[in-house]
Chains A and B, each alone.
Chain A
Amino acid sequence: MKAWLPALLAGRLIRLAWLLPLAAVGLFTLISLAPIDPVQAYVGGRTSQIGPEQRDAIAAAWGLDRPAVERFANWLGQLARGDLGQSITFNAPVMQVIAARLPASLALIGLAFVLSFVLGTALGLVAGATRGRWPDRVIRTIAVVMAASPGFWVAILLVAFFAVGLGWLPACCATPPGQLAAEVTLADRWRHMVLPVATLSVVGIAPLVLHTRQSLVAFLDSPAARHLSAHGATPLHLAFGPGLRHAAGVALTLHLAGAGELFGGSVLAEAVFAWPGLGQATVRAATGADAPLLMGIGLATLLFVFAGNLLADVAARLADPRLRGPA
């Protein structure tokens, strides 16, 4: 019954096999061409305290005095031994930097992913079922406004309203300032997640609402739906019954394929909420031209998005049997 699965997986693995090296070369080329001097970025505001001789020593210590090709070859050699290299910015192994920050980011992204999927699909279905009437118009207006709102701006509005104005929710951070990790209660952790997750969800909800609404509208216009309707099924019944099945495939594909955007959105959300995740580390790595860390994060993101797309294809085929033909 799942004969399509092995073929799909094999195809994707082959794609990954040429995509990864290509991405590695591309990334490294971009980083080497970036107009940032890693030594100057590392020295930063201490220019007057670090003399030219020490700069040379720094370059030598981090291997930055070697040609780009040689540095890439070194990096590949390390990779073959399972070592992603040493981050200049964080003065620690890249693997350790990513491992320390990934869980916080994944918690944020995962929750936002689920929340925006549930909300987006449900709102889309309601809008489709009430086509042309006021719920549809309200939902569509909200969706368009959300689609046009930059994530960081939404974040600042949410903080101004819920944290500073009403004082209901914390304005930043993953835990209350001044407390040790061991002292933080689970309730506190959840409270601190509300605003960042809400911010990040906004990125994903709008397109889902509009696409789900569109696919439901298409279904409601089909002979099948008219037939059911003639038998007395109400639009809402149709929407959340057979309509859901029709819309879910599209919604899942769209949402999972958009996982990369969620990753990008998390960079902004983490910056505003001082969330200790990979997003902040990415910004530091980029501004510091920290090649090993950027390569590590870049490849991890690639795998993440690739897995998202693969899951999207699998999920869409599970939800919609019509797609299970030869891939």
Chain B
Amino acid sequence: MFRPLSTMAIALSLMLPVQADARPLVLAIGGEPDGGFDPIMGWGHYGNPLFQSTLLRYDAGLNLIGDLAEDWILSEDGLVWQLRLRGDAMFSDGTPLTAEDVAFTYNTARAAGGLADLTVLKEARALDATTVELELTEPRITFVSRLATLGIVPAASYGSDYARYPVGSGPFKMVEWREGEQLVVEPNPHWHGGAIAFERVSFVFGSEEAGQALARTGTADLVAVPPSLADAAPSGMKVLHVDTVDNRGLAFPMVFRTGGTTAAGTPIGNDVTADRAIRVAINQALDREALVALALNGHGRPATGPADGLPWDNPEAAIPGNDPAAAMETLETGGWTDTDGDGIREKDGLRAAFQVLYPASDSTRQALALGASDQLREIGIDAQPSGSSWDEIGALMHSEVVVLGWGAHDPSEIFYLHHGDYAGVDYYNTGHYANPTVDAHLEAAEAAPSFDASLAEWKAAAWDGETGFSLKGDATWAWMVNLDHSYWVSDCLDLGPLQVHPHGHGFPITHDLPSWRWTCE
């Protein structure tokens, strides 16, 4: 019954001409934007925006470099960005890109209510054909993340069908998007960034399993795979584990239970974790290497902060951990002793016990909660793992410990997680942490005259020698691991230097897609 089919397949494959020079590339890495490719609604956040280009961009070391902008300055009061555009940028329809297009993009995105947060933008103005001014409502240095992610759309042709028929000044132009199935793009001949080694790039969407099957049948050149499967790469492909800041840690309630509740009526505070000795001891005791081995199959790195290895991370703030003796000493000094001999310490009649909540559907977080619980029992802390729904977690996260994960290419995350103004707001500062010195450092970072200047303040917020949110200071979190993101890559595909990847597995790997090379003949 299948003989005619296989014969037909051979006949078909003979009919398709083999491309001699540039070759097509097939990627199965997910990342299909359901809402289409409209930067104004939020497309292009991570990875390569494909169709559009941005004013600035991050290089592999997460340093800011120019893309559409040739040079840029921030006014002394930190309120006005003035950028000078390159003169040779063109949209894929052949029309030139001007400062008017930039101003239009920023002003439209600010009002659109999409996934590009430009609430701090007051107004964007085109001064002449190649100079644009962006005025902010208050100094906010993390606005550079918008400069590096918001793709520019053409003011003349932007309309309601833009998301499905995008036109931009990026490295690729859309050939076809069959929703839920695949996106086919080809190099944009008008792109200002140079030659691309592939005549066509196809992104196959759909399930993870489908992507793996495509790899096994030799159809796909790059596939995102779960870490548990990664080591079994099919022939012709190698395994690639990318370092990330896709982290997981224990978020502590930082205040004592005084009967206060959130607006939704859920309790705030935990008398055990509000004691710094407990939080520091947990950080000292955790064997993060063991957690990586246990929960991630070895495919990860120990985490000591919310942004390990990124430019705004403070390596000084880290402590090694895996030191139960030091942890027990911290607890003894803090007054936590096991008076009734049950293996769990007490202080003034309060047991060193709390729940560790994790979403029951997430096996990695479950393994981390169970592993941490085992390790903490050895130093006399009863951390009770509890699988819950996100709903239940939302109700308990201000009064119990939760396994949460973050990891963005944007230091504003550091601000949201640790500033007192965000106490109890969404998932940000779940522990209601507030330290005026840390708040001041965070605010100073946002008000810094340049992104480079802000780095010192971000680091000082973690640990300035006396206080900070990090393990050496207030120990607001016990960070545990950074996940690796795993891929199968064709032996012939050279991806060049890679960034430390953010939270989100798959599409971010395309960040430098235009410079990928094919190394086989």
Interface residues of A (CB under 8 A from B): 35, 40, 42-43, 45-55, 57-58, 60-62, 89-92, 100-101, 156, 159, 162-164, 166-181, 185, 187-188, 191, 194, 271-277, 280-281, 284
Which of chain B's residues has its CB closest to A279's CB? B180
Identify A273's interface contact among B164, B206, B428, CB under 8 A.
B206
> Is B367 engaged at the interface, CB distance under 8 Å to the other chain?
no
Offer 21 A-B interface pairs, CB within 8 angstroms, sorted by A.
Answer: A35-B389, A45-B504, A48-B408, A48-B416, A49-B413, A53-B117, A53-B119, A54-B118, A100-B179, A163-B213, A167-B217, A173-B181, A174-B181, A177-B26, A177-B182, A178-B26, A181-B176, A191-B9, A274-B180, A275-B181, A280-B206
- Decide: A89 near B34, CB < 8 A? Known: A45-B504, A280-B180: yes
Tell me which residues across on chain A come within 8 A of B127, comparing CB atoms. none
Bound form: Cα–Cα A24–B200 in Å: 45
Which of chain B's residues has its CB closest to A285's CB? B34
Tell me which residues across on chain B come within 8 A of A51, comparing CB atoms. 117, 119, 412, 416
Bound form: Cα–Cα A191–B5 in Å: 8
Question: Contact between A178 and B412 (Cβ–Cβ < 8 Å)?
Answer: no
> Is B391 engaged at the interface, CB distance under 8 Å to the other chain?
yes
Q: A49-B413, A171-B216, A274-B180 are in contact. List 18 more A-B contacts (CB 8 A).
A: A48-B503, A49-B412, A61-B113, A90-B35, A164-B216, A168-B5, A169-B5, A171-B217, A172-B210, A177-B28, A178-B200, A180-B184, A191-B8, A272-B207, A273-B206, A275-B181, A275-B206, A281-B180
Closest 8 CB pairs of A and B: A274-B206, A61-B113, A171-B213, A91-B35, A172-B210, A276-B180, A276-B181, A48-B413
> Is B73 engaged at the interface, CB distance under 8 Å to the other chain?
no
Which of B37-45, B81-89, B287-295, B472-480 contacts the other chain?
Answer: B37-45
Identify B181's interface contact among A169, A271, A274, CB under 8 A.
A274
> Is B204 engaged at the interface, CB distance under 8 Å to the other chain?
yes
Tell me which residues across on chain B come within 8 A of A54, comparing CB atoms. 113, 117-119
Separation in Å of the A49 CB from the closest CB of chain B? 6
Question: Contact between B2 and A50 (Cβ–Cβ < 8 Å)?
Answer: no
Question: Contact between A91 and B26 (Cβ–Cβ < 8 Å)?
Answer: no
Could you tell me which residues of chain B, from 6 to 49, have a CB within 8 Å of some CB in chain A? Answer: 6, 8-9, 12, 24, 26, 28, 34-36, 38, 41-42, 45
Question: Contact between A89 and B410 (Cβ–Cβ < 8 Å)?
Answer: no
Bound form: Cα–Cα A73–B209 in Å: 42
- Decide: A276 near B179, CB < 8 A? Known: A45-B503, A47-B427, A168-B6: yes
Could you tell me which residues of chain B, from 198 to 236, have a CB within 8 Å of some CB in chain A? Answer: 200, 202, 204-207, 209-211, 213-214, 216-217, 219-220
* 0 or 1 for each of B466-508: is its CB under 8 Å from A? (1 = yes): 0000000000000000000000000000000000000110000
Question: Contact between A91 and B36 (Cβ–Cβ < 8 Å)?
Answer: yes
> Is B165 engaged at the interface, CB distance under 8 Å to the other chain?
no
Bound form: Cα–Cα A55–B115 in Å: 9
Question: Contact between A49 and B217 (Cβ–Cβ < 8 Å)?
Answer: no
Tell me which residues across on chain B come within 8 A of A185, comparing CB atoms. 12
Which of chain B's residues has its CB closest to A174's CB? B181
Tell me which residues across on chain B come within 8 A of A277, comparing CB atoms. 180
Interface residues of B (CB under 8 A from A): 2, 5-6, 8-9, 12, 24, 26, 28, 34-36, 38, 41-42, 45, 112-115, 117-119, 145, 163-164, 175-176, 178-182, 184, 200, 202, 204-207, 209-211, 213-214, 216-217, 219-220, 389, 391, 406, 408, 410, 412-413, 416-417, 425-428, 503-504
- Decide: A177 near B219, CB < 8 A? Known: A51-B117, A90-B35: yes
Tell me which residues across on chain A come within 8 A of B217, comparing CB atoms. 163-164, 167, 170-171
Question: Contact between B113 and A62 (Cβ–Cβ < 8 Å)?
Answer: yes
- Decide: A91 near B163, CB < 8 A? Known: A35-B391, A46-B115, A272-B207: yes
Question: Contact between B113 and A60 (Cβ–Cβ < 8 Å)?
Answer: yes
Question: Contact between B410 and A272 (Cβ–Cβ < 8 Å)?
Answer: no
Identify A187's interface contact among B2, B12, B184, CB under 8 A.
B12
Bound form: Cα–Cα A103–B190 in Å: 36
- Decide: A91 near B38, CB < 8 A? Known: A61-B113, A156-B209, A178-B200: yes
Tell me which residues across on chain B come within 8 A of A188, comparing CB atoms. 12
Question: Contact between B206 and A91 (Cβ–Cβ < 8 Å)?
Answer: no
Separation in Å of the A95 CB from the closest CB of chain B? 14
Bound form: Cα–Cα A100–B36 in Å: 14
- Decide: A172 near B412, CB < 8 A? Known: A47-B426, A159-B213, A276-B178: no
Bound form: Cα–Cα A62–B204 in Å: 30
Separation in Å of the A80 CB from the closest CB of chain B? 22
Bound form: Cα–Cα A67–B12 in Å: 57
Residue from A42, A47, A163 whose CB has the most chain B CB atoms within 10 Å = A47
Question: Contact between B36 and A92 (Cβ–Cβ < 8 Å)?
Answer: yes
Tell me which residues across on chain A come within 8 A of B24, comparing CB atoms. 178
Question: Contact between A159 and B209 (Cβ–Cβ < 8 Å)?
Answer: yes
Bound form: Cα–Cα A271–B428 in Å: 33
Question: Contact between A90 and B34 (Cβ–Cβ < 8 Å)?
Answer: yes
Bound form: Cα–Cα A171–B204 in Å: 12
Question: Contact between B207 and A177 (Cβ–Cβ < 8 Å)?
Answer: no
Which of chain B's residues has its CB closest to A183's CB? B16
Question: Contact between A48 and B8 (Cβ–Cβ < 8 Å)?
Answer: no
Which of chain A's residues has its CB closest to B161's CB? A92
Which of chain B's residues has its CB closest to A39's CB? B426
Tell me which residues across on chain A come within 8 A of B428, comparing CB atoms. 47
Residue from A53, A62, A176 whose CB has the most chain B CB atoms within 10 Å = A176
Tell me which residues across on chain B come within 8 A of A175, comparing CB atoms. 178, 181-182
Separation in Å of the A71 CB from the closest CB of chain B? 16
Tell me which residues across on chain A come within 8 A of B416, comparing CB atoms. 48, 51
Tell me which residues across on chain B come within 8 A of A272, comparing CB atoms. 207, 209-210
Separation in Å of the B225 CB from the closest CB of chain A? 15
Which of chain B's residues has its CB closest to A278's CB? B180
Separation in Å of the A66 CB from the closest CB of chain B? 14
Which of chain A's residues has its CB closest to B213's CB? A171
Residue from B24, B114, B202 whose CB has the most chain A CB atoms within 10 Å = B114
Bound form: Cα–Cα A92–B114 in Å: 13
Tell me which residues across on chain A come within 8 A of B117, comparing CB atoms. 49-51, 53-54
Question: Contact between B113 and A58 (Cβ–Cβ < 8 Å)?
Answer: yes
Tell me which residues across on chain B come within 8 A of A42, comparing CB atoms. 115
Question: Contact between A172 and B12 (Cβ–Cβ < 8 Å)?
Answer: no
Bound form: Cα–Cα A271–B206 in Å: 7
Bound form: Cα–Cα A187–B209 in Å: 24
Question: Contact between A46 and B42 (Cβ–Cβ < 8 Å)?
Answer: yes
Bound form: Cα–Cα A284–B118 in Å: 26
Which of chain B's residues has its CB closest to A288's CB? B34
Separation in Å of the A45 CB from the closest CB of chain B? 5
Separation in Å of the A10 CB from the closest CB of chain B? 40
Separation in Å of the A174 CB from the closest CB of chain B? 6
Bound form: Cα–Cα A214–B206 in Å: 41
Separation in Å of the B511 CB from the closest CB of chain A? 16
Tell me which residues across on chain B come within 8 A of A35, comparing CB atoms. 389, 391
